[in-house]
Structure 1
Amino acid sequence: MSQIYLLNKPYQVLCQFTDDRGRATLADYLPVPNVYAAGRLDYDSEGLLLLTDDGALIHRISDPAHKLAKRYWVQVEGIPEERALQALRTGVQLKDGPTRPARVDRLGAPYPAARHPPVRYRESIPTTWLEIELREGRNRQVRRMTAHIGHPTLRLIRAAIGPWTLDGLEPGRWRRETLNAPNAGQRQRPGIDARRPRTRSRRR
């Protein structure tokens, strides 16, 4: 039986367990030894991170060949026209090649809770929340896609990876689930208690 840990990674937390510059890391939130992230989230991104000590499971989750869907909540600058969203759905040309078709919808209220520190606010420029689902994972792909259509990403939250979601997990909380390794990607039983992060004095 494989153990997998679901963590809601907060903003400005490194997707690693150590840092020689004193920045917040996963060790401040998940006190579990010898686990590794199946895929990564940027320092300035938030949301679902999966960690396990099962190398085969990490490969199955993170390898684009398995086309595991990843869903994001994305706050962008401005109000995209429908033709701009349709461009994302059919694929846009980035420097490293065209993107695969994606599911893109306007995200309905209620929107995610405010971030700390908050996203920059400009009274003259509205923002829009989108839900984007991809089946590939290039470096900073969502941010590059929204910039391509003229609507830079202001905030990025990963809401789901395959069958795993942020449901019930506040920022900094985690829970453990048990899986049968041959069936990685299929939930075997509900997650157990969401855990609080460890507290420490933050260094920046």
Structure 2
Amino acid sequence: MIVEHHHFIIYKPYGYLSQFGSRDSKQQSKRFLGDLNDFPEGIMAIGRLDEKSEGLLLLTTDGKMSDYINSQKVEKEYYALVDGDISEESILQLQKGVEIGFDGKKYKTKPCKAFKLKVAPQLPERSKKIRDARHGPVSWVSITLSEGKFRQVRKMTSAVGFPTLRLVRVRVGAILLGRMYVGEVKEVASFDV
């Protein structure tokens, strides 16, 4: 019997949990991915974006596909708006790897690609306002990882002295966020990562 899998590309909005959950009393006000679309049974998020992060998220009913994309073979690129004018020295530290806390222990991140964006990316406005340049300098940085620890990008930018104000995943492998709008859901035949 051939199992037909379903695959979706979505722009996860700020304030949504990367899960399909039943609301318990503590989560009455939480918003879940299932609030965006009527997804098929057995759907799962490939990787996660925390509640305050947004951008490209892949969903599938295919566990093997999920495992492959979550593996360290597939790069994930993020744009982070950071507090302050990030220095070249800090970019070099990010590239080499920095020490962050993970599961109560110190963890050194793997070398990654990182660079300061010369021009702010063209992204949809976020639903919740964020501090902008009127309150001091901000800068955008691109960080591409092949690993994905809990809140890793946020912890990395904080470790070099530039806390993240906004975080958007813009690429998974060869799949780009592009001009998708916030909350957009696209069903695709397969993932070409």
- What TM-score do the two structures reach when normalised by structure 1? 0.82
Question: Deviation digits for residues 80-137 of structure 1, max 9, x if unmatched?
Answer: 1101110101111223321111111112435223211111346342110111101100
1:45 is aligned, of 31, 39, 53, to 53
Report the equivalent of 1:76. 82
Query: Shift of residue 165 of structure 1?
Result: 1.4
Report the equivalent of 1:87. 93
Q: In the TM superposition, what are the counterparts of 1:17-166 in structure 2 within 5 Å?
A: 17-18=20-21, 19-20=23-24, 21-34=28-41, 35-64=43-72, 67-95=73-101, 96-111=106-121, 112-121=123-132, 123-166=134-177
- CA distance 1:89–1:54, change in 2 (3 Å): same
CA distance in 2, matches of 1:92, 1:157: 20
- CA distance 1:113–1:169, change in 2 (3 Å): closer
SS for the counterpart of 2:9 is strand
2:178 is aligned, of 167, 174, 177, to 167
| Conservation of the 8 A alpha-carbon contact between 1:72 and 1:160 | yes
Query: Shift of residue 17 of structure 1?
Result: 1.9
CA distance in 2, matches of 1:125, 1:163: 35
- CA distance 1:125–1:7, change in 2 (3 Å): same
Question: Deviation digits for residues 127-166 of structure 1, max 9, x if unmatched?
Answer: 1011110110001000000000000000000011111111
| Conservation of the 8 A alpha-carbon contact between 2:80 and 2:167 | yes
| Conservation of the 8 A alpha-carbon contact between 2:86 and 2:116 | no
2:11 is aligned, of 8, 11, 16, to 8
Deviates more, 1:122-131 or 1:29-38: 122-131
CA distance in 2, matches of 1:15, 1:39: 8
CA RMSD, aligned part only? 1.7
How many residues are matched?
180
CA distance in 1, matches of 2:50, 2:98: 22
Query: Shift of residue 63 of structure 1?
Result: 2.7
SS for the counterpart of 1:123 is helix
CA distance in 1, matches of 2:133, 2:145: 29
Query: Share of identical aligned residues, percent?
Result: 34
| Conservation of the 8 A alpha-carbon contact between 1:7 and 1:30 | no
Amino acid at match of 1:48: L
What runs of 5+ residues in structure 2 fail to find an aligned partner? none
Amino acid at match of 2:38: P
